[in-house]
Amino acid sequence: MLGNTERPGGERGARAADPDLVRVLDDEGRAMRKPVLPIERRLALYEAMVRSRRLDERLERVQRQGRIGFHIGSQGEEAAVLGVAEALAPEDWIAPCYREVAALLHRGFPLEAHLDNVFGNADDPNVGRQMPVHFASRAHRCLSVSAPIGTQLPHAVGLAYAMKLRGEHAAVAAFFGDGATSSQGFHDAMTFAGVMKVGVAFFCRNNGWAISLPAHEQCAARALADKAVGYGIPAVRCDGNDLLAVFEVASRALDTARRGGGPTFVELLTYRAGPHSTSDDPTRYRDPDEVSRWAARDPITRLRKHLEREDAWDIDREAALLARVDAELKEAIARAEKKPRPSVASLFDDVYAEPTEALLAQKREALALDEGGEG
């Protein structure tokens, strides 16, 4: 069904010769057919991709300086995230993995609120109940990031099933990595989604590596999209570094979900350019030649070349964008870093609707310790 591809190291390569791979742009940014996305949206998404990359790079440096405890980024996968985000309708939901903060920002979630979570300050929208970069927003229809692998997938199916029962015509975009396709949650979600024909679009960011485990060592299938066949779910493979192709494929999958046509599995071939997180050192397990090959297919570079070919971008606009983005990030990080830490008293909020005597006693003891008193 789906042909095998070159797989050096962890690579299931997005090769131009692969007939199953949906592409709009070649590696040099040349349009292979007329793009569906208007030029003004291509420009907006290019800026969003650059903003996401610069944010990740800056927060990695901030973590290395000891100013935050942890960061996990999406370097190299920006097109796979933002191409889907652009295809979402306002009523759609996101069930994120943890590299999709750009999708939430694209929906209007404030950058400063995200940074409040990163620094864990008193304005953290998750009020200290989550790890850094484990975002959520009911107002922006985004479920909470769940750190255990694959557990967001049954949640996505449950949400879609509830909307189906209520007669709502909305879709759920479920994001996950290649490693999650080996999880119990993936099997459960795909089984129920296939049987119940719920409106979920499964977006698998196949970036080649489940932390240090290469994709071909955890799965013998010719392509991860082949896994969908056994669940009765249509599947498509897309060049995940081609933002225009991702948008087109995501638009079709999400539209099918909204119309009651059931789930779709989308394998987005991309690459994790950076470490899994700031706790990881990929130089210990990745071939530098593989990293270099994928750097030549960088999604931001490819879209920039395309915009330049369309006479919609140039070096002056690039310099102005970088200056504007860097100033925005510098100011937002400074504001978030200056805010006070959460109060100890907030630990005891939202535990019970009505606080118990035991909880109130624990709160008094914690406050006394925080003030330097005897416990």
Q: Which residue is catalytic, options 53, 140, 276, 286?
A: 276
Distance CA 202, CA 11 (A): 21
Residue 285 is among the residues annotated as catalytic for this protein: yes
- Number of CB atoms found within 10 A of residue 166's CB: 8
Q: Nearest-5° angle of CA 218, CA 223, CA 229?
A: 105
Structure-token pair, residue 352:
């019970």
Helix, coil or strand: residue 332: helix
Q: Do residues 247 and 23 lie in contact, with contact meaning Cβ atoms separated by under 8 Å?
A: no
Q: Between β-strands 21-22 and 235-239, what pairing exists: parallel, antiparallel or unpaired?
A: parallel
- Which amino acid does the sequence have at 57? E
Q: Which residue is catalytic, options 51, 106, 114, 272?
A: 272
Q: Distances in Å between the alpha carbon of 258 and those of 91, 172, 176, 249?
A: 10, 9, 20, 14
Q: Which residue is catalytic, options 15, 41, 54, 285?
A: 285
Radius of gyration for the alpha carbons in the chain, expressed in angstroms and rounded: 22
Q: Between β-strands 264-269 and 200-206, what pairing exists: parallel, antiparallel or unpaired?
A: parallel
Catalytic residues: 272, 276, 285
